[in-house]
């Protein structure tokens, strides 16, 4: 896992946050947890190439077309990593009460060792990471406005991560996780 705290300048990050709040088609989506459909505690959107839907928690999401801002960010990340991405999961955490529970991004269509760059815009939030079997291996990381967290290698196989609720945050945060989806494995 690598962390780039100032992947975007303050000015770039501010402009991207402003654009994405306006450009993206944010929705409240249901997911299946323990056999029950519940609404996710955040807004989300899936953008990508036309042939790349995403499926998780029993729900399939068809891609929206890339926006100009997403294409600029995608190109900047691809240039840094030398890897191409065909989709991006966009999450809008409206305030500290929006969250994401413990999970791993280990769906088969991501491959065995996925590379998932996670770009943070807006309010700083604590990202938590813990090993699936070794209780002592955990980490809290403050994700800054304009930062990039790169999860790769065995991260998704051995660790879970979450963005917990907090009453201390009242501002929005956007998180973009770029992905390389293999459509044949959907």
Q: What is the pLDDT of residue 88?
A: 98
Kindly report the pTM of this predicted structure: 0.93
Cα–Cα distance, 34 to 46 (Å, whole number):
23
Q: What is the pLDDT of residue 164?
A: 96
Residues 78, 83, 88, 89, CA torsion sign: negative
What's CA 179's distance to the chain center, in Å?
9
Q: What is the pLDDT of residue 160?
A: 96
Residue 129 burial (CB count, 10 A): 18
Contact partners, residue 170, CB within 8 Å, separation at least 6: 95, 96, 123
Contact partners, residue 122, CB within 8 Å, separation at least 6: 17, 93, 145, 171, 172, 173, 174
Cα–Cα distance, 156 to 102 (Å, whole number):
12
| C-alpha closest to that of 86 among 182, 176, 184 | 182
Class of the 2-185 domain?
Answer: mainly beta
Q: What is the pLDDT of residue 34?
A: 75
Q: What is the pLDDT of residue 39?
A: 73
Q: What is the pLDDT of residue 35?
A: 78
Q: What is the pLDDT of residue 156?
A: 94
- The residue ranges of every structural domain in the chain are 2-185
Low-confidence spans in the chain with pLDDT less than 70: 57
| C-alpha closest to that of 27 among 54, 46, 52, 53 | 46
Q: What is the pLDDT of residue 136?
A: 87
Cα–Cα distance, 128 to 24 (Å, whole number):
26
């Amino acid at each position: 896992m690598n962390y780039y705290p100032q992947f975007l300048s303050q000015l770039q990050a501010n402009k991207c946050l402003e654009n994405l709040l306006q450009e993206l088609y944010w929705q409240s989506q249901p997911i299946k947890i323990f056999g029950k459909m519940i609404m996710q505690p955040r807004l989300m959107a899936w953008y990508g190439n036309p042939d790349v839907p995403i499926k998780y928690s029993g729900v399939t999401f068809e891609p929206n077309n890339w926006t100009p801002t997403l294409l600029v960010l995608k190109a900047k990340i691809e240039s840094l990593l030398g890897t191409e991405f065909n989709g991006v999961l966009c999450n809008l955490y409206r305030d500290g009460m929006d969250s994401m529970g413990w999970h791993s991004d280990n769906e088969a269509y991501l491959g065995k060792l996925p590379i998932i760059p996670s770009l943070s815009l807006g309010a700083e939030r604590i990202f938590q990471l813990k090993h699936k079997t070794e209780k002592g291996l955990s980490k809290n990381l403050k994700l800054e406005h304009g930062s990039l967290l790169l999860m790769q290698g065995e991260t998704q196989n051995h660790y879970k991560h979450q963005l917990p609720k907090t009453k201390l945050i009242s501002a929005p945060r956007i998180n973009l996780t770029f992905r390389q989806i293999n459509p044949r494995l959907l």
